[in-house]
Structure 1
Amino acid sequence: MNSVRFLASPLRRALAVSVLAVGALGTAPAFAQDTTPIKMLVGFPAGGSTDAIARSLALGMEKSLGRPVVVENRAGAGGQIAAQVLKGSKPDGLTIFLTNSHAITMIPHTLKAPGYDVAKDFAPVSLVAFNPDVFAVSTTVAGNPADLKEFAAWAQKNAGKGNVGVPAPASAPDFVVSGIAKALAADLKSAPYRGDGPVAQDLVAGQIAGGVGSVGVMLPQVATGKVKILAVNGTQRVSSIPNVPTYAELGLKGLDDQIFTSVIVPAGTPADIIARYNAAIAAAVAAPEMKERLSSLGITLVSSTPEALGQRIQASSAASLAMMKAAGYTPQ
């Protein structure tokens, strides 16, 4: 099983100039003389919350860097395909990867041969956002359960109807469903989809009883009156849905690792380029226009040093491994 831990060498190279990030932007005019587009890989289709973050970030980075940043969707396998593309890219700064945490903290544990080693093949640049997963239910469920425990009780009384859509098999949402089923003695079964967009669509249509997906995808569906959010992962409630409790508040342990989005690059990318991109990301996520575009989706924008991102990946990797083991999942 691959260890999701950045090796010292690429991390040190990234950190060596991270404190000079603002200064690096000061040399942007020379950097901008090269108008070759920077390719931003995204492991999910257009239209989802990760894609929305990517397109907003690309616009912001273009302003700081003075050169085009083009989003390229390489969807499939929960971001694994895009990660493999990144691994095969030259470390010249022309290819970056905006990824959610699943591809770099969960897949290396659930697959024996994911096709990349996060520690050896990639270098961290910056956190970009927290986009927590939520547990949502269709309001077509009989009795319209008011909370997660009521939904679990309904599922227990209606054997075979407690299907819960998840964005991918062997994902954090998949293991969340397993954890809830065990903790609340409920007949809940994961129904894997290809992304959380289709999960939200089937919830609205009443085709499935429940679903787990990003707050950015589920929150807009609440306005239809056909979807209700009952719980959120993470250590604190989300400001856009302040009345929705965390799993921990409901007494459900081991389900609080919050999904995050970050930018990584191929290992060996020059430290000065990492510094420029780190500073450009910080400027983009702090800009009012990006916050305005994404705030309605419940997405919290952040930035970080490469070191902080590396530490976050290590912590999330440990949490992912614990969830997988708790679910009794065997790497495939």
Structure 2
Amino acid sequence: MPRSARRALLRSLVCCAAVAVSGAAWAQSGKTVRILVGFPAGGGTDAIARTLADRLKDELGATVVVENKPGAGGQLAAQALKASPPDGSTFFISHDHTITILPLVMKNPGFEPARDFVPVAGFASFVNAFALSPGTPAKSLDDYVGWVKGQGQGKGVVGVPAPASTPEFLVKVLGEKFKLDLTPAPYRGSAPMMGDMLGNQIAAGVGSVPDFIENHKAGRIRVVALGGAKRQPTLPDVPTLAELGVSGFEDLPYYGFFAPAGTPKAAIDQFSQALAKVITVPEVKERLTNLGLAVEFMSSQQLASRERDYAKSWTEIIRKSGFQPQ
């Protein structure tokens, strides 16, 4: 065997051994792996995290706990990740808002993703949705526009799960498009927003499909428009925003896991490999799909590339909106 091939084989064996030792150490020491969630229990991200955690514990040979740190659109959880020891015991499940959008709309979010975090793996993409509360008489986005205009001066309030988020920008775009005076009402996550929607405290809300889909299927709310370039298999009768003349929301947000910078590559590789297996389990994939996710594994490098591309497109959207970082 050529020397270069022997060196490559040795590196591969060392890497595999490191991952195996890491997993064995987790199992033998009774180590606990934390998955940080930046939103309250009961929301879409929380449901996804708990679905994955239930299976990851077997693949990792460790206790896996979901730890909710709600507040500021995931900012508190991201700061907690930054402060966590880089020993492979703490991971952060996040969608685009915390990792990509927050650093673009805040002068000092308390973390810098490229410096403080390392992408571990991605597992899904999704779309955002515009939904109506049960007491709202409108049955479609056009109906809603007409209904708001008929309420006097075209004023309306739309819930969003976090301030300065993709849903908030969507509310502003819809207001401009349909000449409405729409005010986004930020919440501490989708769960409290959904509570107010179900109680008819607000007439409409914007959030991810996972936030809305179960209540939509149960007939408690109505999803009337979706982001993305094409209709979603889980909601085939709901038109896209593009179909309704609202452009700029075709790029799909993503879900992924991140770890503190400096986390050993062996721990990152093991978690990534475990996640890749878990999302192929039929029950897990079905559950995630039913929550409105398009399940797709992304390696650390692919997740980093996806984040960079998403940040680039949203930098332009935010610039055009005239929004100034706060």
Corresponding residue of 1:185: 179
Distance in 1 (CA, whole Å) between partners of 2:35 and 2:221 is 32
Distance in 1 (CA, whole Å) between partners of 2:97 and 2:120 is 17
Tell me if 1:114 matches 2:106. Answer: no
Residue 211 of structure 1 aligns to which amino acid in structure 2?
A: G
Residue 304 of structure 2 aligns to which amino acid in structure 1?
A: G
Corresponding residue of 1:83: 78
Corresponding residue of 2:62: 67
Corresponding residue of 1:157: 150
Corresponding residue of 1:169: 163
Deviations 1:219-245 (A, max 9, x none): 222244342111111222221101112
Unaligned runs of 5+ in 2: 1-10
Where 1:330 maps in the other structure, the secondary structure is coil
> Per-residue deviation at 1:273?
1.4
Q: 2:223 aligns with which of 229, 244, 254?
A: 229
Stretches (4+) displaced over 4 A: 20-27
Q: Are residues 214 and 21 of structure 1, via their aligned partners in 2, closer, same or farther at CA, if it must alter by over 3 Å?
A: farther
Deviations 1:69-126 (A, max 9, x none): 1111111111111111111112111111111211110100111011111111111111
Q: Is the Cα–Cα contact under 8 Å of residues 21 and 279 in structure 1 kept in the other structure?
A: no
Give TM-score scaled by structure 2 length.
Answer: 0.89
Residue 254 of structure 1 aligns to which amino acid in structure 2?
A: G
Corresponding residue of 2:7: none
| Equivalent residue runs for 1:20-169 within 5 Å | 24=19, 28-29=23-24, 32-142=27-137, 144-145=138-139, 147-158=140-151, 159=153, 161-169=155-163
Where 2:207 maps in the other structure, the secondary structure is strand
Q: 1:215 aligns with which of 209, 219, 222?
A: 209
Q: Is the Cα–Cα contact under 8 Å of residues 199 and 213 in structure 1 kept in the other structure?
A: no
Unaligned runs of 5+ in 1: 1-15
Corresponding residue of 2:6: none
Query: Which is further off, 155-164 or 261-270?
Result: 155-164
Q: Is the Cα–Cα contact under 8 Å of residues 161 and 209 in structure 1 kept in the other structure?
A: no
- Tell me the number of residue pairs that the alignment of Structure 1 and Structure 2 aligns: 313
Distance in 2 (CA, whole Å) between partners of 1:21 and 1:167 is 41
Distance in 2 (CA, whole Å) between partners of 1:67 and 1:236 is 40
Distance in 2 (CA, whole Å) between partners of 1:203 and 1:22 is 52
Residue 108 of structure 1 aligns to which amino acid in structure 2?
A: P
Q: 1:298 aligns with which of 292, 300, 314?
A: 292
Give TM-score scaled by structure 1 length.
Answer: 0.87
Corresponding residue of 1:11: none
Q: Is the Cα–Cα contact under 8 Å of residues 72 and 163 in structure 2 kept in the other structure?
A: no
Q: Is the Cα–Cα contact under 8 Å of residues 226 and 238 in structure 2 kept in the other structure?
A: yes
Q: Are residues 271 and 232 of structure 1, via their aligned partners in 2, closer, same or farther at CA, if it must alter by over 3 Å?
A: same
Higher relative contact order (CA 8 A, sep 6+): 1
Residue 88 of structure 1 aligns to which amino acid in structure 2?
A: A
* Bigger Rg, structure 1 or 2: 2
Corresponding residue of 1:282: 276
Deviations 1:151-181 (A, max 9, x none): 2232223236521111112111000000111
> Per-residue deviation at 1:31?
5.1
RMSD after superposition: 2.3
Q: Is the Cα–Cα contact under 8 Å of residues 230 and 240 in structure 2 kept in the other structure?
A: yes
Query: Which is further off, 257-266 or 156-165?
Result: 156-165
Distance in 2 (CA, whole Å) between partners of 1:39 and 1:138 is 35
Identity %: 40
